[in-house]
Structure 1
Amino acid sequence: MTSPEGVSGELSERRGRHAELTELVEQANWRYHVLDSPTVSDAQYDTWMRELRAIEEEVPELRTPDSPTQKVGAPISTDFAAVQHLMRMESLDNAFNAADLAAWQVRAERLAEAEPGPYLCELKIDGLAIALVYEKGRLVRAATRGDGRTGEDVTPNVRTVQGVPDRLSGDDVPDLVEVRGEVFLPVEGFERLNEQIMDAGRPPFANPRNAAAGSLRQKDPRITAQRPLRMIVHGVGKWEGAAPPRTQSEMYDRLRSFGLPVSDLYRVVPGLTEVQEFVEYYNEHRHDPAYEIDGVVVKIDRIDVQRQLGSTSKAPRWAIAYKYPPEEVTTRLRDIQVGIGRTGRVTPYGVMEPVVVAGSTVERATLHNASEVVRKGVLIGDTIVLRKAGDVIPEIVGPVADLRDGSERAFEMPTHCPECGTALAYEREGDADLRCPNARACPAQLRERIFFAAGRNAFDIEGLGYVAATALTQPLPPQDPPVRTEADLFDLTMDRLLPIKSIVRDQDTGLAKTDPENGEQKVVSFFATIAGAPSKNAEKMLEQLEKAKAQPIWRVLVALSIRHIGPPTARALADEFRSIDAIAAASEEELAAVEGIGPRVAATIKDWFAVDWHRDIVDRWKAAGVRMEDEPPADQGPQTLEGLTFVVTGTLAAYTRDEAAAAITSRGGKVTNSVSKKTSFLIAGENAGSKHDKATKLGVPILDEAQFGTLLTEGPEAFAPLDEAEKEPEESGE
């Protein structure tokens, strides 16, 4: 049994933690809502709020009207006139997983004493909440949310926002209506705005939400008018003088008919299963909309049920925000270092205090080149904004300059390669990237090239990953490396592999990894077991090396790490010349005439084959039995796709990308990597992305996987446009 003294001590501790969290949350609210310069991530803020609510569940007397859990937003700035909202602007409770969503649905069902569906699902825009008041159809006021009851009058500025009507249209406009929505900057507009700001010598905005808030709070509306702000309406407060809508979706139809900007990306669904499908779809397609989103808002569609459920002290019971894992967080930039890539490119990257973003722990992020470090204005020691979207490499967005204390320092680009000591230089005048010119002997470049040659787009050698590539090129001294250039790759034997030990390196940076407990470098014997026998990985790697010798020559071209030669370009060269020797012997003019090559890439190819140790790689691989020439198959079928150009994008169920490309080229078609007006067809699988959008804009025919199968069996005639006389008559609108 806990003693009274123990209970008192625990209660005092909980009160103290509650006071500490309250101060942190209120300071975060002030910076977010008033100063437009947040210093903590949404994820951290949500964590504090959840802890506050948990404490108040244990100690209910701490749940006072002054608690952050009972407030909406933050105190308003005194820079703009304060106005009272006609009805309180509420916040939304959050769900972070399917269990949270189900619990919300159960509560709503219990309170409504019936199934609360159907549900309206819409995207949660990362913007600035605004309320617009229309009297007799005329815009009379626009105000920020503020604390939910009192906001800031920003009417002159909102009148400049594109798409916001000064007068509503239609015959059934209410005498008085207060509509709510989000003002935001589209991603493309945000990027243009930051470019203009940096050109003027000012620090860029960290994200579109800050940029939208800063743009809307300009003292001079003429400045706001120059910013590409947009608005989407997603709700109504006051409604007087006309029959109100019966459902949320009907409300959106009415608002759209008034001329108000309403999203097309919402859906009414019958139950929670379909809600979860909508949530999961946009988690995977988070960057498809033109604006930033951070989740999905789920609302009960029937307005009579909304009224029946009512609200808590701060949030409606009939709606909830499903928040996605954060893609932007803040952390401390400990250092800026550089890595060396396979072509010698020197890439600065940030070393940060580890932080979880988009579901994974990140402690390193790219900074691209020295100019980018200057452009972003980051200093070593800064608190920085970090962005990571799905599998995309983490990116440092910019500094949180308000948190600087004077201890920060500028990054200085090294003058010599950190791995081989060679003086760094630009390859040609005007280049953005410094390079290490020691291509043959730089251990970093060799390691990266071997890893790349074994990759899925080149030889596709299972077992030759980054650890193995490091061991082959940088074993522990005094061991000699089994691979001194790529020429040695196909001469490897188990006898040469078994003694090799190596330091484990980070795949992103090439730096040696250390044991967190003792600080010592991690050493592995990748090719041998503890007993000294060949490891399964070593056996698999040698088997795969033998199989790789039969790969088509476009893969050989990719594996050679010639600059600008990726799979589409390599395929085009292989289709045209049929052999590595023919490519090496071709003139610049002949190379440049191949689709997708051009003079610059042609010159790069000629320069590569002019280097003696490069030619030695080709000769040694040829001697080892690597395929250097493609012959048309003896049973080559009809060339039904001859003269047509294809782009393959997205995920196909029955084909890999390579298999789809092979099916096209075997029928005489060409496969390229980018959509243009010259593209004959886009083959679009699941998650087709931006190429699908570009093809739509350019009018390029788009085929799904089933139609692709029809194309292969029946030819392009199956998709020839119908003559006008053959077209089905359009249905009348009556």
Structure 2
Amino acid sequence: MSADIQEKIKLLTKELNEYNYQYYVLANSVISDYDFDQKLKELEALEAQYPQYIDPNSPTLKVGGDITQKFNTVRHRWPMMSLGNTYNEQELRDFDERVRKIVGDDVQYVCELKFDGLSISLTYEEGKLVRAVTRGDGTQGDEVTNNVKTIHSVPHRLKNGDYPSMFEIRGEIFMHRPAFERLNKQREDHGEPTYANPRNFASGTIKLQDPKEVAKRPLDCFLYFLYTDNRNKLFNTHWESIQAVKDWGFPICEHTRLCQNIDEIFDFINYWDEARLSLSYDIDGIVIKVNDYAQQEELGFTAKSPRWAISYKYRAERAETTLNSIAYQVGRTGAVTPVANLKPVLLAGTTVKRASLHNANEIARLDLHEGDTVYVEKGGEIIPKIVGVNNEKRALNTKPIAYPTLCPECGTPLIRQAGEAVHYCPNEDGCRPQIVGKLQHFIGRKMMDIQGMGDETMETFYKIGLLRRISDIYALKDHRDRLMSLERFGEKSIENMLQGIENSKTKPFEKVLFALGIRHVGETIAKKLALHFKNIDNMALASVEEIAGVQDIGGRIAESVHSYLHDAGHLAEITKLKAAGLHFEIEERQITLAGDSLSGKTFLISGVFADFSREELAQLIESHGGKMVSSISAKLNYLVAGDKMGPSKLAKAEKLQIPIISDQDILQMIKQ
């Protein structure tokens, strides 16, 4: 019995730590909040009964997850603790009773909406924002100051006021649902992975390395708690402090309320249980805090939570229905996505017929069988998802769902690359949805923007054999007679379409590169590759390591680009597109020379620099007569090395005895 208890505690600890890692570090929700909290309570109860088996790394002793390695790690001056959760009225009444037992009946509470976002701590000195740090593990977090500065509602400098010379203010970063839906649609159109909900999108955004990319994704922020030395001399209550920080210029949620007793708290909870659906952002509960600072100090803390605050969490909208079947959709990149077809059920005010299943791992995790009775949830997710199975209603002798081994469209054996959860159909030249998807992608507004053509046109032209590959678009002018014979295609519409095709030939290299539909190459990555390699031929000659050496290009993207440009069919297609007049090299910009101190010298930039982006550094070199090259050879004069430079480049430069210099050395060369 003792060994069974110890093993149970060990398994729960491991499982919950993995969920924490997925949620806090990878911004990936793999279990509902309710199910997580139930497992955590189970572990807490076991640890209380058998303290000898507590793991030092138990999630009951920690807040959040591990620290990502992408940013500087900063220790919190005041720990960012988590809140205890409750889902029922009695536990909340028990909380109120414990509070009044310690501090007396003269107690007020502040009720706040519990935003479903990313916790953040902002430090201000002399009214200036100097640091922004994520929760991390509660003791230390990631410094993301430059990214947070892109959030318009966060003040960089406060107006004159009576604020302390140094203070921290805590809050939540989130994304409004309309922005989430718009940006997720763009990612889907570009063949990029989509986010499950606004919280994941906000979390993934704030941890991007490039603040310019962060600025393109509209984030918002509410702030709700002040820390400073001698805070009690400035304010007596939490309510006073949040009114003050509002006057200082901080974004405070207008729905926060001061409550006099437990009944007013429940009025607030019950009101927002329905009204939350009308908000433009997601909340998953209500936070209740004792208002008086002196009473907060008297109540104190547990190892991980304040005793003067608690979170009442709403149950996510959930319904029970029958799994009729699973359809497998093939996207333009060949990714196969399973979608559950359900017996229609009413959920959160809408009739749900389909639900997301993501990938084979999710089907295995749920242990789905044919005809199962499943639980469907719609919390922060825009698209409903299956979160569990009612095993008591499972029919006898049903078979587990077997993920297909062959493409549901063309019958080609599916592949699954190492480290990826998604199955792919490799038959990109013979699989209908991939061919049509690539054609539709190519003509898109952010790609070649071909006026007079749309998704339905691509589908029609594929069906009748006019289009099989992208280059066929530029041969449509030779098929006027056939086009004229088609329904809904008049002479005017055909002329507009052919003119749109002709106009697309002026699009720059980065647009063409993006339009090709190379897996993992979105709009931003295409720009970086085009700027670095200058033309498609240089890119085709580059090794995987050289491609990965380009700023923000990881190994997975580099392998995808390298593989694409070493496929005979793709190269033949590029040759045809070149002949049609498309641009496969960047137009060399006119550079106004600021000097000639670097004239006659060649440079290659690799790594990350503190004072310059690589583009800025390249422009600086070229403006003083230097020439940029895209690969290391004996003809290279200087390798300009920053942090995180690829080891293969370094080894090759050392082997060829090429001088390795820094960005500061460039500045000195220019001065001399």
- TM-score normalised by the chain length of structure 2: 0.52
Say which SS state the counterpart of residue 92 (structure 1) adopts: coil
Aligned position for 1:315: 305
Alpha-carbon distance, 1:14 to partner: 1.5
- Structure 1 residue 325 and structure 2 residue 312: aligned? no
The equivalent of 1:200 in structure 2 is 190
3-state SS in 2 of match to 1:132: strand
Aligned-residue sequence identity (percent) comes to 35
Q: In the superposition, relative to structure 1, how do residues 292 and 171 fare at CA in structure 2: closer, same or farther (>3 Å)?
A: same
Shift of 1:58: 1.6
After TM superposition, the structure 1 = structure 2 runs for residues 182-193 of structure 1, keeping only pairs within 5 Å, are 182-193=172-183
2:228 pairs with 205, 214, 238, which one? 238
2:9 is matched with 18
Whether the 8 Å CA contact 1:116–1:305 is kept in 2: the answer is no
1:93 aligns with 2:84: yes
Counterpart of 2:234 in 1: which secondary structure? coil
Q: In the TM superposition, what is the alpha-carbon distance from 1:304 to its structure 2 partner?
A: 1.3
Measured in 1, the distance between the counterparts of 2:120 and 2:320 equals 26
Matched, 1:30 2:21: yes
- Counterpart residue identity of residue 221, structure 2: M
The one-letter amino acid of 1:223's match is E
The Cα shift of 1:240 comes to 5.5
Partner Cα separation in structure 1 for residue 343 and residue 52 of structure 2:
38
Q: Distance in 1 between matches of 2:111 and 2:75?
A: 29
Could you tell me whether the CA contact under 8 Å between 1:135 and 1:177 is conserved in 2? Answer: yes
| Aligned pairs for 1:98-137 within 5 A | 98-112=89-103, 114-115=104-105, 117-137=107-127
Q: Structure 1: which amino acid aligns with 2:300?
A: G
Q: Displacement of 1:79 after TM fit?
A: 1.2
Distance in 2 separating the partners of 1:60 and 1:18: 10
Equivalent residue for 2:353, pick from 366, 369, 393: 366
- Partner Cα separation in structure 2 for residue 201 and residue 247 of structure 1: 50
Residue of structure 2 equivalent to 1:141: 131
Which residue identity is paired with 2:201?
A: A
How far residue 76 of structure 1 moved from its aligned partner, in angstroms, is 0.7
Residue identity matched to 2:127:
G
Equivalent residue in structure 2 for 1:161, among 151, 175, 180: 151
Deviations 1:668-699 (A, max 9, x none): xxxxxxxxxxxxxxxxxxxxxxxxxxxxxxxx
Cα–Cα, structure 1 residues 247 and 169, in superposed 2: closer, same or farther, change >3 Å? same
Q: Could you say what secondary structure the match of 2:268 adopts? A: helix
Q: Cα distance 1:202–1:405, how it changes in 2: closer, same or farther (>3 A)?
A: farther
- Map of 1:454 onto structure 2: none
> Does the 8 A contact of 1:386 with 1:395 survive in 2?
no
- Relative to 1, partners in 2 of residues 1:297 and 1:241: Cα closer, same or farther, differing over 3 Å? closer
Tell me if structure 1 keeps the 8 A contact 2:151–2:219. yes
Instruction: String of CA shifts for 1:560-582, please: whole Å, max 9, x gaps.
Output: xxxxxxxxxxxxxxxxxxxxxxx
Match of 1:298 in 2: 288
Aligned pairs for 1:541-580 (under 5 A) are none
- Matches of 1:223 and 1:42, distance apart in 2: 30
CA contact (8 A) 2:378 2:385 kept: no
Counterpart residue number, 1:615: none
1:336 shift after superposition: 2.7
Tell me the equivalent position of 1:396: 384
Answer yes or no: is 1:174 the counterpart of 2:161. Answer: no
Aligned equivalents of 1:256, 1:393: Cα separation in 2 = 31
Q: Partners in 2 of 1:327 and 1:409 — Cα distance?
A: 35
Separation of aligned partners in 1, 2:62 and 2:240: 30
Does the C-alpha gap of structure 1 residues 210 and 326 become closer, same or farther in structure 2, counting only changes over 3 Å?
A: same
- The aligned residue for residue 70 of structure 1 is 61
* C-alpha spacing 1:352/1:50, structure 2 compared with 1 (3 Å): farther
CA contact (8 A) 1:386 1:396 kept: no
> Residue 678 of structure 1 corresponds to which residue in structure 2?
none
The superposition leaves residues 638-674 of structure 1 with CA deviations (integer Å, 9 ceiling, x where unpaired) of xxxxxxxxxxxxxxxxxxxxxxxxxxxxxxxxxxxxx
For residues 266 and 201 of structure 2, the distance between their equivalents in structure 1, rounded to whole angstroms, comes to 31
Given that 1:206 and 1:397 are in contact with CA atoms closer than 8 Å, whether structure 2 keeps it comes out as no
Q: Please tell me whether residue 260 in structure 1 is matched to residue 250 in structure 2.
A: yes
Unaligned runs of 5+ in 2: 329-337, 367-373, 388-400, 411-453, 458-672
Distance verdict in 2 for CA 1:354–1:199, change over 3 Å? closer
Deviations 1:408-461 (A, max 9, x none): 777669xxxxxxxxxxxxxxx9999xxxxxxxxxxxxxxxxxxxxxxxxxxxxx
Match of 1:289 in 2: 279
| Contact kept? 2:9, 2:54, Cα under 8 Å | no
Whole-angstrom distance in 1 between the partners of 2:378 and 2:195: 19
Aligned counterpart, 2:212: 222
SS in 1 for 2:278: coil
Structure 1 outlier segments of 4+, above 6 Å = 328-334, 352-358, 376-380, 382-387, 408-413, 429-432
Give the Cα separation in 2 of the matches to 1:406 and 1:303. 57
Equivalent position of 1:605 in the other structure: none
Match of 1:461 in 2: none
- Amino acid aligned to 1:212: A
Give the secondary-structure state (helix, strand or coil) at the position aligned to 1:69: helix
Aligned match for 2:39, one of 40, 48, 57: 48
Distance 1:123 1:15 in 2: 38
Q: How far apart, CA to CA, are the structure 2 residues paired with 1:324 and 1:238?
A: 32
* Cα deviation 1:95-116 (Å, max 9, x = unaligned): 111001011111112222x025
2:313 maps to a residue whose letter is: K
> Partners in 2 of 1:106 and 1:22 — Cα distance?
31
The answer as to 2:67 corresponding to 1:79 is no
Distance 1:245 1:334, change over 3 A: farther
Residue from 230, 245, 248 that aligns with 2:238? 248
Report the secondary structure of 1:234's partner residue. Answer: strand
| Larger-Rg structure | 1
Indicate conservation of the 8 Å contact 1:381/1:409, yes or no.
no
2:66–2:137 CA contact under 8 A, matched in 1:
yes
Partners of 2:341 and 2:354 within 8 A in 1: no
Q: Normalization by structure 1: what TM-score?
A: 0.47
Alpha-carbon distance in structure 1 between the residues aligned to 2:5 and 2:386: 36
Number of the residue aligned with 1:523: none
Q: Which residue number in structure 2 is paired with residue 59 of structure 1?
A: 50
Q: Is the 8 A contact 2:287 2:312 kept in 1?
A: yes
Counterparts of 1:76 and 1:353 in 2: how far apart (Å)?
A: 42
Please say if residues 344 and 353 of structure 2, whose CA atoms lie closer than 8 Å, have aligned partners that are also in contact. no
The question of whether the paired residues in 1 share the 8 Å contact of 2:19 and 2:30 is answered with yes
Using the alignment, how far apart are the partners of 2:358 and 2:319 within structure 1? 18
Deviations 1:395-415 (A, max 9, x none): 43699xxxx9975777669xx
CA distance in 1, matches of 2:324, 2:407: 12
| Contact residue 365 and residue 396 of structure 1 kept, 8 A | yes
**1:212–1:327 distance in 2 versus 1, CA, 3 Å:** farther
Please give the per-residue CA displacement for 1:539-585, whole angstroms capped at 9, x wherever unaligned.
xxxxxxxxxxxxxxxxxxxxxxxxxxxxxxxxxxxxxxxxxxxxxxx
In structure 2, do the counterparts of structure 1 residues 318 and 182 end up closer, same or farther at CA, with 3 Å as the change threshold?
A: same
Q: Distance in 1 between matches of 2:352 and 2:346?
A: 13
* C-alpha displacement of 1:306: 1.0
Is the CA contact 1:333–1:383 (under 8 Å) kept in the aligned structure 2? no
Partner amino acid for 2:67? I
Alpha carbons 2:16, 2:59 under 8 Å: kept: yes
SS in 1 for 2:119: strand
Once the two structures are superposed, residues 476-504 of structure 1 have per-residue CA deviations (whole angstroms, 9 ceiling, x without a partner) of xxxxxxxxxxxxxxxxxxxxxxxxxxxxx
The Cα offsets for residues 276-333 of structure 1, whole Å up to 9 and x where unpaired, read as 1111111112212221010000111111111111111100111100011124899998
RMSD, aligned CA:
4.1
| CA contact 1:174–1:242 (8 Å) conserved in 2 | no
